[in-house]
Amino acid sequence: MAEPDYIEDDNPELIKPQKLINPVKTSRNHQDLHRELLMNQKRGLAPQNKPELQKVMEKRKRDQVIKQKKEEAQKKKSDLEIELLKRQQKLEQLELEKQKLEEEQENAPEFVKVKGNLRRTGQEVAQAQES
C-alpha cells in the first residue's frame, strides 16, 4: 500500500493526521472489565454466562460421548475376557441347575427320597463287591 505524499513532506503548515481515539477503550469500565477477564483467563476461570439451553445441550453431548466410549470399550474385549465370561456363564448355569435339583429333592415325597438312597447304597455295595 502506498503511503500518502503529505507524510514525507515536513511542511509545518500542514496538519498531520492523528489516529482517532476509541472512546470504548479509553473508558474506565472497559479497562476494568478487560483486566478482570484477563485475570480470570490466567486463573482458568471462564465466564458462565451461557444460556441454560446451551448448557443442557453441551451436557447431553458430553454424556453421549462418554456413553459411546464405554460401549466401544465393552466391544473391544480381549479373547481372554471373552473366554472368562463364557466360563462364568457356564458356572452360573451349573449352579442354577444344582439349586433346581436340590429344590426338587426337598419337595419330593419321602418314599422317593428313600428309593434314591436305596439305589445309591445298592450301587455302593455292588462296587465294593467287584473290587
Q: Which residues of 60-99 are buried (b: 16+ CB within 10 A; e: fewer)?
A: eeeeeeeeeeeeeeeeeeeeeeeeeeeeeeeeeeeeeeee
- The residue assigned the cell 464405554 is 70
Q: Kindly report, residue by residue over 53-72, the tens digit of the pLDDT.
A: 888 899 999 999 999 998 88
End-to-end CA distance of the chain: 114
User: Which of 6, 23, 24 shows the shortest CA–CA distance to 15?
Assistant: 6
Q: Quote the cell numbers at residue 77.
A: 474385549
Position 6 pLDDT exceeds 60:
no
Segment of 20-34, 35-49, 57-71, 100-114 carrying the highest mean pLDDT: 57-71
Least confident of 11-15, 24-28, 38-42, 84-88: 11-15
**What pLDDT sits at residue 101?**
85
**What pLDDT sits at residue 49?**
73
**What pLDDT sits at residue 68?**
94
**What pLDDT sits at residue 67?**
95
Give the E-state strand segments of 20-117 in sequence order. none
